[in-house]
Structure 1
Amino acid sequence: MSTGAGGKEPSIRRHARRENRQRGRLQTVNTEAIKEQQIRSREEREQKRARMDGRHEFLLSTIAERLGLTMDEAEDFMLDGDQLNAFDSFFAQGGRSALIFFYKETKPEEGTGGTKEKCLWVTDGTKDPYSGCCMFFVRPNSSKPITMLNIHQEVYFGMLDSNGEGLLGAIKGLLDLVFIPALERNEKWGDLSGIEAQQVKQQFLGKLSSFVGVLANAQASVADAVKLSRIENEKLLKLMTLSSSEILSSMNNQDIVVAAENIAMKWCHEIEQILTESEQMRKEADDVGPKAELDHWKKRLARFDSLTACVKSSECKTIVNILIGAKSKVLKVSKYKLH
């Protein structure tokens, strides 16, 4: 028996040594693979950097100055992915007519002691959400290529900065503070001249100013839109991603039913407040004209539209279905408000 035990222990040690050697070899292979990947990544970035010339520097220096970035930071952002292809198309004869950049800063979480994360990227504006800061270069004439000799005359720069007012506020500010004053000072209106030019100018500027007013009203309506309280219960949040059959099977869970009742009652209280406020009389000065009255009803319509969207949302329907399945007493209170 002692021989058997003595023979077993060396075998265990041999297996342990073999596993340690295999683990060491795997770690070596992984480390070498990571190093090779890093080397390839650096080589690719240097190849991309070699493609950049004075035209890239002209555009990026403008952006870096506006954002408070260094040129090295701006260049490093552009070396990610295939973003330089967008520059090539913008510079080419018959290429794209605009080059759009989004910029975003992410604040570190409280207590982490980290620094703000910055991100700058090229976009076509159709897939990425507006980040609050957009810069763009446009070339009105794409029939000839952009060179260092003509880039100063052929390329124009613009910027949309929401300053916390959203996309509508950014567009309104650009029109109100840049384009309208520039057009008002412009004396040349194509082939038009004299009285005819002045009439066309005044008519166009009037419509443009009205459009700015529409943007202002739309911005106010968005700011005044109804938003019911968000669902914070983790079990309820999980239900929002499940199928109808899975939701039905969870209705026997008393914790879920209670959480659904609580959020339903909270929503009902919020809706009741909104309806009460809408029925209150509005006090206006005697000199208020029809435009102010029209703006008031537009905002009120937008507010009720947003409330209707909340009630018809998938989250609200799921909560109502849970109450129906559980035959909750809360359903009698919430039925006329959440349906």
Structure 2
Amino acid sequence: MFSRPRANVSVAEYAQRLRDEREQKRSSLDDRHRYFFDIIATRIGKLRSEVEDNILESPNFNLMDQFLIADGNQYLVFFYQEPEIENMQSDLDTYRPRHSSYSSRSGESGTKKITTKVIIANPNEQPLRGIFLSFIRNSKALMITEQNIAAEVCFYTFECNTGSLLEALSRSISDVYVPYLQTTAMNWGPNKDPMVKIKFIGHLNNFIDTLNSADESIKEKILLAPSQNIDLKRIKTAADYVSVASSSEYLSYIEEIMKKWIYQLEAVLAESEQIRREADDIGPRAELNYWKRRMTKFNFLLDQIKAHEVKAVLTILQTAKSKLIQTWRTLDGKITDAANEAKDNVRYLYTLEKFYEPLYNSDPVAMLEYIPGLINAVRMIHSISQYYNTSERMTSLFIKVSLSFFSSRKIMNLLEENKTIIVINIK
């Protein structure tokens, strides 16, 4: 990692030190490193020398060597994107001292013009906003050498600069890997049973559904409106609450933000109570994904409701004996009930998963072994579930489970092969 300049070091001396460190790193490079640079340069349409210079400046340069050694890291990740823009706003420009220590405003921010670069990334610490480039080892036990690197290291890439990370990953799997696995005669190991391939692709499609559901949940999340006129984080002590509640100006700000939150919660609840519109051919996977999205949405709201900012507003309004408190408590209770309902339904629907998943891929005979367990699981949900045991929901669930039988690839093929006989018998 490049060192930061000290106060007693001139800019010229610091620049020279950076050049020396970069050249020292360059001298340690070999054909294994250049193998990475060549692939990355081809992928992003840049010169290898430019990619090399970018990576030599990367603070995680040592991760390359940790990837190459025996028993080293399983993967090596690069991002091609603009680094995060530094916020140059001064702390002195954050608040309005002439009004109160609780007032706030947004200050002017300065930004640096930063070009897109290749960096060695630590995915646990750095967000992806551009192109993801990853090298993955077949085996951690072997040291990666110039002779075996082409055989032992795989390259994987996708873009998320036009959408979310989950959307990019889902698109990559569904548009590239699933079609390849479906059409390619490859070695699936010593087990020659064709169901191995069918089940694996089924699990992969299920994973795609999970990614899409998670992406939708993130897009549907509701953020409570932030306070524009008062910094709620600075209100901490009992004296602070009394001071704000005693000020008609600040109390009006607090009531304004509470009204915005009430409007948001009412809109969420109204939307959740609308009749669901579903396609006629969806199965139990869609039911589980629906309740998972609801659980995520309402849990995210509950987390915000428990935050300091909301508690501060409630305490101030309670101190001022505001009439908005009762409305908020009613909505808070409804949000909590909705979150508990979604959580409970997800828990019980997960018990069905191990029974209905095989129905998507099994042949008619193999399905028989899963049906008793499936019926018992549905019976258990009807008997125990606090929210899901209504006639309307149980009927909907049975319809979706039944559709999973006919979603089976083998049954669809069987019906297609015998459609003439079936039509004759119907007549």
Bin of the TM-score, shorter chain as denominator length: 0.7 to 0.9
SS at match of 1:240: helix
**Equivalence map 1:182-221=2 (5 Å):** 182-184=180-182, 185-193=184-192, 196=193, 198-221=194-217
- Could you tell me which residue of structure 1 aligns to residue 317 of structure 2? 323
**Aligned equivalents of 1:119 and 1:319: distance in 2?**
44
**Aligned residues: percent identity?**
31
Distance change in 2, residues 1:246/1:50 (3 Å): farther
SS in 2 for 1:121: strand
Deviation at 1:159, TM superposition (A): 1.5
Matched residues in 1 for 2:12 and 2:241: separation? Answer: 52
Q: 2:296, 2:166 → 1: CA distance?
A: 15
Counterpart for residue 86 of structure 1: 63
2:305 counterpart letter in structure 1: V
Whole-Å Cα distance in 2 between the matches of residues 256 and 177 of structure 1?
A: 54
TM-score (norm 1): 0.76
Question: How much has 1:297 moved relative to structure 2?
Answer: 4.2
Aligned-residue offset at 1:242: 5.2
Q: CA RMSD in A?
A: 3.1
State which of 211, 214, 224 in structure 2 corresponds to 1:228: 224
The equivalent of 2:125 in structure 1 is 127
> Which deviates more from structure 2 when the two are superposed, residues 293-302 or residues 269-278?
293-302
Would the alpha carbon gap of residues 34 and 333 (structure 1) be closer, same or farther in structure 2, given more than 3 Å must change?
same
Q: 2:116 is paired with a residue of what secondary structure?
A: strand
Query: What's the CA shift string for 1:146-198, capped at 9, x where partnerless?
Result: 233322222111113224432322321232123323333142111122xx2x1
How far apart, in 1, do the equivalents of 2:234 and 2:37 lie? 43
Q: Secondary structure at 2:157's aligned position in 1?
A: strand
- Kindly provide the amino acid, as one letter, of the partner of residue 217 in structure 1: S
Q: 1:32 to 1:121 in 2, by over 3 A?
A: closer
The counterpart of 1:258, out of the listed 252, 262, 265, is 252
Cα distance, 1:136 vs structure 2: 0.7
- Distance between the aligned counterparts of 2:59 and 2:283, measured in 1? 54
Structure 1 residue 137: deviation in Å?
A: 0.3
* Contact 2:217–2:293 (CA under 8 A) maintained in structure 1: yes
In structure 2, what is the Cα distance between the partners aligned to 1:298 and 1:113?
Answer: 40
Match in the other structure for 1:308 = 302
Q: CA deviation at 1:107?
A: 9.6
CA deviation string 1:194-218 (max 9, x = no partner): xx2x121112211221221222222
Are the equivalent residues in 1 in contact too, given 2:129–2:161 (CA < 8 A)? no
Counterpart amino acid of residue 188 in structure 2: W
Deviation at 1:81, TM superposition (A): 5.7
Equivalent residue letter for 2:311? K
> What's the CA shift for 1:138?
0.9
Q: Which amino acid letter does the alignment assign opposite residue 201 of structure 1?
A: K
How much has 1:329 moved relative to structure 2? 3.9
- Calculate the TM-score normalised by the size of structure 2: 0.62
Does the C-alpha gap of structure 1 residues 316 and 199 become closer, same or farther in structure 2, counting only changes over 3 Å?
same
Taking a change above 3 Å as real, the CA distance of residues 140 and 244 of structure 1, as seen in their structure-2 partners, is farther
The code of the aligned residue for 1:179 comes to: Y
For the pair 1:46 / 2:23, whether they are aligned, the reply is yes
Aligned match of 1:75 in 32, 52, 56?
A: 52
Question: 1:310/1:56 Cα in 2 relative to 1: closer, same or farther (>3 Å)?
Answer: same
Unaligned runs of 5+ in 2: 1-6, 88-109, 334-427
Q: Deviations over 1:212-257 (max 9, x none)?
A: 1222222222222222223333x32xx3155345743642444332
Call closer, same or farther: CA 1:80–1:325 in 2, change over 3 Å.
farther
1:153 paired to 2:130: no
**Taking structure 1 as reference, are residues 168 and 153 closer, same or farther at Cα in structure 2, changes over 3 Å only?**
same
Structure 1 residues 186 and 115: CA distance shift in structure 2, 3 A: farther
Structure 1 residues 105-120: aligned runs within 5 Å? 105=82, 117-120=115-118
CA distance in 2, matches of 1:84, 1:283: 52
- Is contact 2:130-2:159 (8 Å) kept? yes
- Counterparts of 1:322 and 1:137 in 2: how far apart (Å)? 54
SS in 1 for 2:330: coil
Which whole-Å CA distance do the structure 2 matches of 1:34 and 1:218 have between them? 47
Structure 1 Cα separation of the partners of residues 146 and 302 of structure 2: 55
- Tell me, in whole angstroms, the C-alpha distance in 1 between the residues paired with 2:161 and 2:46: 18
